[in-house]
Chains A and B, each alone.
Chain A
Amino acid sequence: MICIQQVSKTFDQGRSFAVQEVDLEVGAGEFVVLLGESGCGKTTLLKMINRLVEPSRGRILVEERDVCRVNPVVLRRGIGYVFQGVGLFPHMTVAENVAVVPRLLNWEPSACRDRVDELLRLTGLSPRTHRDRKPHELSGGQRQRVGLARALAARPRIMLMDEPFGALDPMTRDGLQREFKRLQQTLNLTVVMVTHDMTEALLLADRIAVMKRGILVGTGSPGQVLRSPSHPYIAALMETPRRQADQVESILRSGGEGK
């Protein structure tokens, strides 16, 4: 579905590389998480998939087509895009925000309306109460749901997500993560998600790709990266969630008394 071949990106004519010679393939319906510390190049890599950033070297195929050879506007309308800032348009209602891409694609108004209601229900919002609200009248979690609905509006088969749940409180985040995972499986979406949250990566991903200083250091299923990491950096990274899990388990065993 997505094929990243020897892709590098430099913002300073080759003195340093934000992304360096990355190879990665994402199959149809696969949920891949790009994991790494901030500044490791994961967001740059993600943005090259829908050509918000152009690769300096190498090439990226989306559904067998080189992204640099297709019209970027057409490409982006076919790929859902969600990011931490959400970027809802403050002058539009929830319904108008969700219908942005269908409108750009010249859908019939009635089709747009039906799709908006369908998506609001799908993302756990009530069309009747939320449809005509403005973004500033929503909670953080609701806004992120609208952002998700907007990205899904034109039935993309690929979703790119950049720390979509980063700004939410833990309860809301947990709920949305699980709902999204279920949605991804029902709709058979191909997802590339960027995060620095190890637990999120482990819980959502089919496959985790770990990046460090622009280089892809290794990939593997959550089980693989936990049990037999292919690189010392991955092992170090997995130390934190493993230790936290152990601590939680020991609290449970001791009856919740001490630490």
Chain B
Amino acid sequence: MTETALAEQLRLLPEYLGHHLSLTLVALFSGIAVCLPLAVLVTRVKPLQWPVLTVASVAQTIPGLALLALMVPLLGQIGFLPAFIALLLYSMLPILRNTVTGILGVAPDILEAAEGLGMTSGQRLFRVELPLAAPVIIAGIRTATVWVVGSATLSTPVGATSLGNYIFSGLQTQNSTAVLVGCAAAAVLAIALDQLIRLGELAVAGRSRTKGWLAGAGLLFILLSTLILQIPTAKGSAVVVVGAKPFTEQYVLAEALTQRLTQAGLQVENRSSMGSMILFDALTAGHVDCYVDYSGTIWANVMKRQDLPPRADLLEEMKDWLQREHQVLVLGALGFENNYGLAVARHKAEALKLASIQDLTRHAPQMTIGSDFEFFVRPEWTALREAYRLDFREKRTFDPSLMYAAAREGVVDVISAYTTDGRIIEYDLAVLTDPLQALPPYDAVLVLSPAAARRTELVSALEVFDGIIDDGTMRAANKRVDVDGESPAQAARFLLEAVGLSSPAQGRERSDS
């Protein structure tokens, strides 16, 4: 069982590693190309030193994930570019600081000799200062390399594929194999690049041809493998990009869409673990072709509406609005709702006689509420709080995968659960009713970007999803991942089979490899 789980993860390695490598190498080489001249300038023009190093230090203090996420609104793009810029900024400080330190550390008598012998400023730099500063500069580049390889795993949420795909999806779906494979691959890559640079340094310092050839061969190998690993995804613009937000149901649905599109003979790229708003912007900009969103989410967060019409009216109005404002096509509602609901451990609900959110109002000042990273800043929370006058003692945010266990174990009293989550049944949680209808309905809807909506083969492959997944089926598929430890791909095969969309040929092919 573990062997097949590992094999399944390793099949994804070439794609993830290829993207990770190209992102890392481009960011690093650019970092070196920008920082070396900048550092030299700073040693020549002393007043620049403080501001430049301070800016680089500040960039370094911003947490990697935040820096990456910040790049998305700043650049108005997702994917490679924001990840590249953020990593470039991240690589700057060690290279800049070490280069400046190295150059300023050259002994004054050596500089006097260089000047007294009649070297020009450039000759002094290239023949004396840079060679003498080289060990310190290279140490900086090695630090930057390790940092960039590590931080590149954080580029997954902004839509750039990397080894972070293993880690983010693995953490959400409690797949420790995926997390381990991702971490191990990133660590091995960091060590390999670091040692390669060291080998190159030794080759130059010791004037050793053998080491030089080895380092050169290693670099060539890495560059070539980056190119080769990139080829499958570099094939034209016909590739369909499927997006997913960072939680289990989304991974399963993205996998289901991917399998369906692959069956239809289309080339698919899976961009998992993207932030909710990043994903919608990516769809309207055409960087993502399709994903599953929820009507209430779009209603409250994108359309900024506060009124709540009945479920069917809301859906219709949303469809029209998306088509009119963004030329986004709602291909259909999948059939199930994944609502936000407040859930309490059943024994606690019974003890306190909690059935609806209204019953909670009285107890809230003594209670702690736990939620995912998004909920407390979403308009739904404001609406809910105002409708029921909820005033909790404490609010805590959790990774969605840990939230349910926190409710079961009494770490928090109430959580904002997703109603299709398999763990609600598994962990014996009770979902409170919403008599005032403060929370909108969250019909799962398949949305297509303007460009994707024009591709008939894509539309015909996906329109079969209209109305075929009910709450129970979705919850069962989610449970397979969250509770039974299956991979999203396996759960997606189950889902397709359950709704009668699987092809036996594909099932065989998967189990063979």
Is A236 interfacial (CB 8 A cutoff)?
Answer: no
Give B102-142 interface residues, CB cut-off 8 Å to A. 107, 109-120, 123, 127-128, 131-132
Q: How far is the CB of B196 from chain A (nearest CB, A)?
A: 22
Q: How far is the CB of A53 from chain B (nearest CB, A)?
A: 11
- Chain A window 14-54, contacts with chain B (Cβ cutoff 8 Å), 1 for yes, 0 for no: 00000000000000000000000000000000000010100
Is A91 interfacial (CB 8 A cutoff)?
Answer: yes
Is A62 interfacial (CB 8 A cutoff)?
Answer: no
Cβ contact within 8 Å between B116 and A86: no
Partner of B117, one of A74, A90, A91, A150: A150
Residues of A within 8 A of B120 (CB): 73
- Chain A window 88-116, contacts with chain B (Cβ cutoff 8 Å), 1 for yes, 0 for no: 11110000000011001000000000000
Cβ contact within 8 Å between A104 and B123: yes
Is A173 interfacial (CB 8 A cutoff)?
Answer: no
Residues of A within 8 A of B118 (CB): 72-78, 101, 104
Residue of A nearest to B121 (CB): A73
Q: How far is the CB of B448 from chain A (nearest CB, A)?
A: 62
Residues of B within 8 A of A83 (CB): 109, 112-113, 116
Residues of B within 8 A of A100 (CB): 117, 119, 127
Cβ contact within 8 Å between B116 and A50: yes
Cβ contact within 8 Å between B116 and A101: no
Cβ contact within 8 Å between B115 and A76: yes
Is A165 interfacial (CB 8 A cutoff)?
Answer: no
Residues of B within 8 A of A78 (CB): 118
Residues of A within 8 A of B109 (CB): 83, 85-87
Give A123-150 interface residues, CB cut-off 8 Å to B. 150
How many angstroms between the C-alpha atoms of A85 and B106 in the bound complex? 14
Q: How far is the CB of A168 from chain B (nearest CB, A)?
A: 16
Residue of A nearest to B131 (CB): A91
Q: How far is the CB of A70 from chain B (nearest CB, A)?
A: 12
How many angstroms between the C-alpha atoms of A176 and B118 in the bound complex? 25
Residues of B within 8 A of A87 (CB): 107, 109-114, 116
How many angstroms between the C-alpha atoms of A78 and B117 in the bound complex? 9
Cβ contact within 8 Å between A101 and B117: yes
- Chain A window 170-199, contacts with chain B (Cβ cutoff 8 Å), 1 for yes, 0 for no: 000000000000000000000000000000
- Chain A window 149-160, contacts with chain B (Cβ cutoff 8 Å), 1 for yes, 0 for no: 011000000000
Residues of B within 8 A of A85 (CB): 109, 112-113
Chain B interface residue count, Cβ-Cβ cutoff 8 angstroms: 18
How many angstroms between the C-alpha atoms of A83 and B111 in the bound complex? 12
Partner of A91, one of B115, B116, B119, B132: B132
Residue of A nearest to B119 (CB): A104
Q: How far is the CB of A151 from chain B (nearest CB, A)?
A: 8
Residues of A within 8 A of B107 (CB): 87
Beyond A73-B120, A91-B132, whether A86 also contacts B115 by CB under 8 A is: no
How many angstroms between the C-alpha atoms of A77 and B115 in the bound complex? 10
- Chain A window 49-64, contacts with chain B (Cβ cutoff 8 Å), 1 for yes, 0 for no: 0101000000000000
Cβ contact within 8 Å between A90 and B110: yes
* Chain A CB within 10 Å, residue with most, of B110, B116, B120: B116
Residues of A within 8 A of B111 (CB): 87
Partner of A81, one of B116, B128, B132: B116
Cβ contact within 8 Å between A52 and B113: no
Give B87-111 interface residues, CB cut-off 8 Å to A. 107, 109-111
How many angstroms between the C-alpha atoms of A2 and B119 in the bound complex? 22
Residues of A within 8 A of B132 (CB): 89-91
Residues of B within 8 A of A75 (CB): 118
Cβ contact within 8 Å between A86 and B117: no
How many angstroms between the C-alpha atoms of A157 and B210 in the bound complex? 44
Q: How far is the CB of A161 from chain B (nearest CB, A)?
A: 11
How many angstroms between the C-alpha atoms of A42 and B143 in the bound complex? 47
Beyond A90-B132, A91-B131, A104-B123, whether A77 also contacts B113 by CB under 8 A is: no
Partner of A76, one of B117, B128, B131: B117
How many angstroms between the C-alpha atoms of A81 and B111 in the bound complex? 13
Cβ contact within 8 Å between B119 and A52: no
How many angstroms between the C-alpha atoms of A89 and B106 in the bound complex? 10
Residues of A within 8 A of B119 (CB): 73, 100, 104
Cβ contact within 8 Å between B117 and A81: yes
Cβ contact within 8 Å between B115 and A52: yes
Residues of B within 8 A of A72 (CB): 118
How many angstroms between the C-alpha atoms of A151 and B118 in the bound complex? 11
Residues of A within 8 A of B127 (CB): 89, 100
How many angstroms between the C-alpha atoms of A101 and B116 in the bound complex? 10
Residues of A within 8 A of B114 (CB): 87, 89
Q: How far is the CB of B198 from chain A (nearest CB, A)?
A: 18
Residues of B within 8 A of A151 (CB): 117
Q: How far is the CB of B122 from chain A (nearest CB, A)?
A: 10
Q: How far is the CB of B45 from chain A (nearest CB, A)?
A: 20
Cβ contact within 8 Å between A89 and B116: no
How many angstroms between the C-alpha atoms of A222 and B131 in the bound complex? 45
Q: How far is the CB of B123 from chain A (nearest CB, A)?
A: 7
Beyond A89-B128, A91-B132, A104-B123, whether A76 also contacts B116 by CB under 8 A is: yes
Cβ contact within 8 Å between A88 and B113: yes
Cβ contact within 8 Å between B112 and A89: no
* Chain A CB within 10 Å, residue with most, of B110, B113, B117: B117
Beyond A89-B128, A90-B132, whether A104 also contacts B117 by CB under 8 A is: yes
How many angstroms between the C-alpha atoms of A104 and B120 in the bound complex? 9
Residues of B within 8 A of A150 (CB): 117
Residue of A nearest to B132 (CB): A91
How many angstroms between the C-alpha atoms of A91 and B135 in the bound complex? 11
* Chain A CB within 10 Å, residue with most, of B118, B123, B131: B118
Residue of B nearest to A153 (CB): B117
Residues of A within 8 A of B128 (CB): 89
Residue of B nearest to A96 (CB): B127
Residues of A within 8 A of B113 (CB): 81, 83, 85-89
Q: How far is the CB of A86 from chain B (nearest CB, A)?
A: 7
Q: How far is the CB of B22 from chain A (nearest CB, A)?
A: 34
Residue of B nearest to A47 (CB): B116
Q: How far is the CB of B458 from chain A (nearest CB, A)?
A: 61
A contacts, CB < 8 Å to B? 50, 52, 72-78, 81, 83, 85-91, 100-101, 104, 150-151
Report, nearest first, the 10 A-B pairs whose CB atoms are least far apart.
A87-B113, A85-B109, A76-B118, A77-B118, A81-B116, A87-B109, A91-B131, A87-B110, A73-B118, A73-B120
What are 10 contact pairs spanning A and B, CB under 8 A?
Answer: A52-B115, A52-B116, A73-B119, A87-B111, A87-B112, A87-B114, A89-B113, A100-B119, A104-B123, A151-B117
Name 20 extra pairs, CB < 8 A, besides A52-B115, A87-B112: A52-B116, A72-B118, A76-B117, A76-B118, A81-B116, A85-B112, A85-B113, A86-B109, A86-B113, A87-B114, A88-B113, A89-B110, A89-B113, A89-B127, A91-B131, A91-B132, A100-B127, A104-B119, A104-B123, A150-B117
